[in-house]
């Protein structure tokens, strides 16, 4: 069996058919499927993002900010279309603020990262960084392509050794300082 056939079998074979070790809690359950010749496959399930409860005050602040920015836009450029786009964006943010996160299935191996049915080859990433958000850890994969969005995955802290073992063998670790958008979304509890 050549390496391509072997990798394909890892993508299509159900996890239950492999020998596995299970560890984790309600949020994350990691299974490690070793194959001494080619690959270690680590699979787990976790939330797609951390959901923060939004109070009525949060939505009131969103409305006030939208109204204030709309008023400034109207007096500066007197363009109703821009104000309509801003209001539409605020409504979209409000909808996404209440949407509960889905539980996604993640799989990590030497060939790449799979999030549900989407596969990312590890060659698409230049490095990774690990961050802690409360009791949950996240890995951010930094892309090599200029316009590709970084991919962030969440997992339970007790699963870090298994996941880090596969990552350390394939990508360099990079300490990442949160940028302005990360700090704003953290403060806004988004």
- 59-114 pLDDT, tens digit each: 999 999 999 999 999 999 888 899 999 999 999 989 888 888 888 899 898 889 99
The DSSP letter of residue 36 is: T
Give the integer Cα–Cα distance in Å for 164 and 177: 19
Give the integer Cα–Cα distance in Å for 107 and 124: 16
Shortest CA distance to 54 belongs to which of 91, 102, 89, 95?
A: 95
Phi, psi of 115 (to 5 degrees): -115, 110
Which residues neighbour 117 within 8 Å (Cβ) at sequence distance 6 or greater?
A: none
pTM above 0.75, yes or no: no
CB-based burial label for 39 (10 Å; 0-12, 13-18, 19+): middle
């Amino acid at each position: 069996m050549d390496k391509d056939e072997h990798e394909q079998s890892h993508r299509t074979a159900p996890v239950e058919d492999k020998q596995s070790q299970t560890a984790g809690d309600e949020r994350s359950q990691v299974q490690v499927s070793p194959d001494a010749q080619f690959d270690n496959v680590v699979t787990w399930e976790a939330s797609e993002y951390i959901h923060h409860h939004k109070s009525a005050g949060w939505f009131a602040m969103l409305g006030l900010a939208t109204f204030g920015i709309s008023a400034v836009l109207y007096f500066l450029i007197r363009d109703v279309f821009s104000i309509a786009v801003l209001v539409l964006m605020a409504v979209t943010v409000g909808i996404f603020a209440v949407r509960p996160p889905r539980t996604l299935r993640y799989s990590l191996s030497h060939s790449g990262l799979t999030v549900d049915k989407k596969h990312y080859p590890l060659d698409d990433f230049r490095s990774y960084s690990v961050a802690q958000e409360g009791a949950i850890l996240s890995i951010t994969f930094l892309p090599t392509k200029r316009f590709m969005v970084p991919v962030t995955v969440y997992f339970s802290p007790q699963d870090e050794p298994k996941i880090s073992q596969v990552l350390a063998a394939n990508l360099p670790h990079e300490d990442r300082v949160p940028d302005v958008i990360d700090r704003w979304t953290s403060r806004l509890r988004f």
